[in-house]
């Protein structure tokens, strides 16, 4: 598959290309597919950090199409990691459901960069959904003794059964998706009424919801820019 202008731009900005090989493919309920892949030299060359994501290139009727996915349980020693796909209609879901061991796909690493502050924050405030759940889990794995307050939006009841790696000292609020995501924004902004000077706020959900929550944190509460990490994981149509 011939790359398009997006690939050229990513390469110009330091993007590194790798080939992934499918090792295992399994269904997770009726809405998700989980693949175990061999990343070749990807993990050794790029390292691993919490919330790490890569861009995969799919064939969309003969045209290249890229989508971003979070690495799940990356193992630098073996070079392997999992990828989880939501089964929406589209070329990515079609590839994920039909991929077999030995199949390959091209990946680009560019733009993923995150480290927990040093010294560690006093508490984590995490806002996400099923799409960003793997990244939430990676933050919880890396947080050590730091507790987390978590809001997770769900569109289907089955999403509440997805694995969430909370610890005994974490607090989780599941929020049903309503009013095109405004219910999540209202729930989070109502709960967060003052800025925590030693807190880290991480927001990764639908684009409009992410903007609304970040606006509340920065303008409404005066949370410092260095305390907020935000990334829109998807955009409602």
- The number of angstroms, rounded, from the C-alpha of 166 to the middle of its chain's C-alpha atoms is 16
Strand pairing report for 147-154 and 72-75: unpaired
Mean pLDDT (whole number) for 76-103? 95
Task: Please check whether residues 69 and 134 belong to one and the same domain.
Answer: no
Would you say residue 13 has pLDDT above 80? no
The CATH number for 87's domain is 2.40.30.10
Task: Please check whether residues 101 and 127 belong to one and the same domain.
Answer: no
Range of the domain at 135: 123-230
Mean pLDDT (whole number) for 16-33? 94
- Residue 114 maps to a domain: no
Reported as a single tens digit per residue, the pLDDT across 151-168 is 999 999 989 999 999 999
Task: Please check whether residues 151 and 192 belong to one and the same domain.
Answer: yes
Give residue 236's pLDDT. 86
- Residue 92 maps to a domain: yes
Task: Please check whether residues 92 and 163 belong to one and the same domain.
Answer: no
- Residue 80 maps to a domain: yes
Task: Please check whether residues 198 and 148 belong to one and the same domain.
Answer: yes
Give residue 29's pLDDT. 83
Left (φ > 0), alpha (ψ -120 to 50) or beta: where does 184 sit?
alpha
The closest of 204, 212, 185 to 68, measured between CA atoms, is: 204
The DSSP output letter for 205 is S
CB–CB of 97/83 below 8 Å? no
Strand pairing report for 171-176 and 147-154: parallel
- Residue 118 maps to a domain: no
* Last-in-domain residue among 82, 109, 136: 109
Question: Considering only 4-18, 22-36, 90-104, 180-194, which range has the smallest mean pLDDT?
Answer: 4-18
Reported as a single tens digit per residue, the pLDDT across 128-148 is 999 999 999 999 999 999 999
Strand pairing report for 147-154 and 80-86: unpaired
Task: Please check whether residues 100 and 136 belong to one and the same domain.
Answer: no
Task: Please check whether residues 87 and 146 belong to one and the same domain.
Answer: no
Task: Please check whether residues 44 and 128 belong to one and the same domain.
Answer: no
Give residue 170's pLDDT. 98
Task: Please check whether residues 78 and 152 belong to one and the same domain.
Answer: no
Would you say residue 6 has pLDDT above 70? no
- Residue 149 maps to a domain: yes
| Rounded CA separation 237/234 (Å) | 10
Task: Count structural domains, the chain.
Answer: 2
The SS3 call for residue 189 is: helix
- Residue 144 maps to a domain: yes
């Amino acid at each position: 598959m011939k790359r398009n202008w997006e690939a050229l731009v990513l390469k110009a900005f330091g993007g590194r290309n790798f080939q992934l090989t499918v090792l295992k493919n399994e269904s997770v309920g009726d809405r998700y597919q989980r693949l175990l892949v061999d990343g070749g030299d990807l993990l050794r060359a790029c390292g691993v950090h919490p919330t790490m994501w890569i861009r995969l290139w799919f064939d969309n009727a003969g045209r290249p199409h890229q989508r971003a996915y979070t690495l799940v349980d990356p193992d630098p020693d073996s070079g392997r990691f999992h990828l989880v796909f939501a089964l929406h209609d589209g070329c990515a879901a079609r590839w994920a459901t039909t991929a077999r061991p030995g199949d390959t796909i091209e990946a680009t690493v560019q733009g993923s960069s995150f480290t927990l502050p040093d010294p560690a924050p006093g508490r984590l405030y995490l806002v996400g959904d099923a799409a960003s759940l793997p990244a939430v889990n990676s933050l919880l794995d890396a947080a050590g003794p730091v507790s987390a307050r978590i809001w997770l939006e769900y569109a289907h009841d089955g999403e509440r059964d997805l694995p969430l790696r909370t610890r005994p000292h974490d607090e989780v609020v599941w929020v049903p998706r309503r009013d095109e995501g405004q219910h999540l924004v209202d729930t989070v902004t109502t709960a967060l009424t003052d800025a925590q000077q030693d807190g880290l706020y991480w927001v990764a959900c639908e684009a409009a919801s992410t903007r609304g929550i970040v606006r509340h944190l920065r303008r409404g509460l005066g949370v410092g820019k260095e305390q907020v990490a935000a990334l829109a994981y998807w955009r409602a149509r």
